[in-house]
Amino acid sequence: MTPLLIGALGLAALFVLILLQVPIGIAMIIVGVVGYALQAGWAPALTILASEPSGLLSSVDLATVPLFLLMGTFATAAGFSRDIYAAAAALLGHRRGGLAYATIGGCAAFGAVCGSSTATAATFAKAALPEMLRRGYAEGFSAGTIAAGGTLKSLIPPSIVMILYCIVSRTFIFDLFVAALVPALLAIALNLVAIWVIVRLHPEYAPRGERTQLRERLQALKAAAPVMLLMIAVFGGLYSGVFTVNEAASVAAVLSLAFAFARGRLDRESLWRGLRESAAATAMIYLIIIGASVFTYFMTLARVPEALIALIGGLDVSSLSIVFFLLIAYLILGAVFDEIAAMLITLPFVLPIIEKLGYDAIWWGILNVVVIELGMIIPPIGIIVFILHGLAPKIALRTIYRGVVPFIVADLVLLALLTLFPEISLALPRALK
C-alpha cells in the first residue's frame, strides 16, 4: 500500500468516526493507534497511548494553556470586561460610532487578559450590547462589531490557538507571540476602518452620544487600572525578557485571582464554577492535542508527509498558488468543521509542504490563526455568531450575519496582506533574534 493511500484511508476513517459523533480527539487517537498497529503490530502501537501523552502531560509549555484559561476565568469573574468597556466608552462614546470603536478596543484589551475568543465575545455581549442598543445603535451593526471584537482574541497573545499550533508544529511559543504583534495591530486597525466606513455610509446605525464629564472619565479609567496593571505585568514581563512564557502565564493566573478576590467579586460559587469550566476546557484541549500527536505519529510512520511533498513538488504551479489553495480549503473546512480541530488534523500534512515551499512555520501559524478567526464568524457555523444569538435571541441570526459582513471583508484583507507580505509577521521576531 502506498503512503498516499494509507494517508487517504486514515483521513477517511477519521472523518467516518467524526461523523458518527465520536469526539475529535478520541477519533484521532483511534485512527492513530489502529493505523500504527496495521503497520508495526498491536504491542508497539498500544504503547504510544502512554509514551505520547506522557510527554504532553508533563510539558511545561502546554501547561500555559490551563494557566491562561484560569486567567480568563478570574478576569471574567472580576468584571474586567465591564471596566475596560466603561473606560473606552467614556473616552470615545460621544463620537459617531464611538461605542463600536470602544467595543473593538475593549475586546482587544480584554483579549490580552483572557485566553478565549468565545469568552471575550460572550462577556462583551453582556457588557456592550445592551448599552449600544440603548443608545440607538443598529442591532446588526452592534452584534457584528462584538462578534468581530471577539475574534480578535485569537491573534492577540496570549492566545491558546497559538500555543496549540506551537506545540504541534514544535515551534517556539514566544516567537509566535512576537510575530503576532504587528498582525494583531493591523487587525484592530482594519476593524476600526470597517466601522469608520460603515458609520460614514450609514450614520443612522450609530448616533452620537453625549460627551462625558472629565471626572467621570477619570473614574472610569481608575476602575480599569487593575486590568492595565495585569496587562503590563504579563506583556511587559514577557516581551522584556523578565519572564518566560510559562512564568508570564503563572503571573497572569495568580494576579487575576488576587485582583478578583481584592475587588470582592469572587465568591465561592463563582470560583468553583470557574475552576470547573477551566478544568473541563483543559481536558478537552489536552485530549485533542494527545489525539493530534498520536495521529501525527501514525502519519509520519507511514511517510505520508514525504509522499505529499513529492506529489506537490511535481506540480507545475507557483508556491503562492498552493498557499492560496490551502487557505481556501481551510476556509471551506472551517465553515463545516471546528476550526482548531481542522488545523490540528491537517497540520501533519500541511506544515511539511509549507516548509518545503520555503515558507516559515511561524508565518504559517499566523495565517492559520487568522483563518480560525474568520471561521468563527463565517456562515454556516460561525461559533461566535451563534453565541451572540444565544445571548440576544431577539436579534435574528440573519441580522447578525449581515452585521459581520464588513468585518469578514476586513479579515480577508488582513489575510491577503499577511499572505502576500510575510515580513509583516516575520520582521519583528527576526529583528529580536
Partner 1 sequence: MVLAAMTLADGLMRWLANRPIEGVRDVGMVVIAVAVTCCIPVGLMERANISIRIAGTVFGAATGRALDALAALVVEVVMVAMAWQFTLFAGKIARAGETTWVLKISTYPFWYTVAAILWMAVLVQLIVVVLEFSKLRR
| Binding characters for partner 1, 93-122, by CB under 8 A (x = yes) | ------------------------------
Instruction: For residue 219, state whether it binds partner 1 (rule: CB under 8 A).
Output: no
Q: DSSP labels for 145-179? A: HHHHHHHHGGGSSS-HHHHHHHHHHT--HHHHHHH
Residue 38 touches partner 1, criterion: CB under 8 A? no
178 near partner 1, judged by CB under 8 A: no
Q: Which is nearer to partner 1, 36 or 359 (CB)?
A: 36
Nearest-approach distance from CB 237 to partner 1, in angstroms? 8
The correct pick among 26, 192, 301, 331 for binding partner 1 (CB under 8 A) is: 26
Q: How far is the CB of 247 from partner 1 (least distance, A)?
A: 4
Instruction: Verify binding: residue 364, partner 1, rule CB under 8 A.
Output: no
9 in contact with partner 1 (CB under 8 A) = no
37 binds partner 1 (CB under 8 A): no
DSSP characters over 246-305: HHHHHHHHHHHHHHHHHTT---HHHHHHHHHHHHHHHHHHHHHHHHHHHHHHHHHHTTHH
**212 Cβ partners below 8 Å, 6+ apart?**
90, 93, 94, 220
Contact present, 99 and 137 (Cβ < 8 Å): yes
If one counts every other C-beta atom within 10 angstroms of the C-beta of residue 61, the result is: 17
Examine residue 54 and tell whether it contacts partner 1 (CB under 8 A).
yes
Q: Are 370 and 162 in contact (CB under 8 A)?
A: no
Residue count, binding to partner 1 (CB under 8 A): 54
CB of 84 to partner 1, least distance (A): 23
Note whether 165 and 179 are within 8 A (CB).
no
Q: How far is the CB of 261 from partner 1 (least distance, A)?
A: 12
CB atoms within 10 A of CB 283: 12
SS3 content of the chain, % helix, strand, coil (to 5): 80, 0, 20
Interface with partner 1, residue 43, by CB under 8 A: no
Q: Per rule CB under 8 A, is residue 337 in the interface with partner 1?
A: yes
DSSP 212: P
Between 59 and 212, CB nearer to partner 1:
59
Q: Give the interface segment with partner 1, choosing from 41-49, 159-167, 303-311, 407-415 (CB under 8 A).
A: 41-49
Say whether residue 253 binds partner 1 (CB under 8 A): yes
Dihedral, CA atoms, 180, 181, 183, 186, nearest 10 degrees? 160
CB of 157 to partner 1, least distance (A): 17
**Residue number with CB closer to partner 1 (148 or 288):** 288
d(CA 333, CA 24): 14
Query: Considering the rule CB under 8 A, would residue 418 count as an interface residue with partner 1?
Result: no
Residue 12 sits in the site that holds partner 1 (CB under 8 A)? no
Residue 249 in the binding site for partner 1 (CB under 8 A): yes
User: Which one of residues 8, 12, 229, 242 is an interface residue with partner 1 (CB under 8 A)?
Assistant: 242
Q: Residue 394 interacts with partner 1 (CB under 8 A)?
A: no
Distance CA 18, CA 157 (A): 30
224 lies in the binding site for partner 1 (CB under 8 A):
no
Distance in Å, CB of 402 to partner 1, minimum: 24
Ramachandran assignment for 339, one of left (phi > 0), alpha (psi -120 to 50 degrees), beta (any other): alpha
Inter-axis angle of helices 268-301 and 42-57, to 10 degrees? 140
d(CA 327, CA 345): 15
| Site for partner 1 contains 236 (CB under 8 A) | no
Grid cell in block for residue 116 = 478565549
**44, amino acid identity:** P
CA separation for the pair 275, 269 (Å, rounded)? 10
Q: Is residue 67 within the footprint of partner 1 (CB under 8 A)?
A: yes
Cα distance between residue 132 and residue 403, in whole Å: 14
Q: Which of residues 263-322 bind partner 1 (CB under 8 A)?
A: 276, 279-284, 286-288
Residue 370 as a binder of partner 1 (CB under 8 A): the answer is no
Q: Is 6 in the site for partner 1 (CB under 8 A)?
A: no
- The single residue among 91, 192, 208, 247 that binds partner 1, judged by CB under 8 A, is 247
d(CA 365, CA 330): 13
Note the residues at the interface with partner 1 (CB under 8 A).
Answer: 17-26, 29-30, 33, 46-47, 49-51, 53-54, 57-60, 63, 66-67, 70, 237, 242-244, 246-247, 249-251, 253-254, 257, 276, 279-284, 286-288, 337-338, 340-341
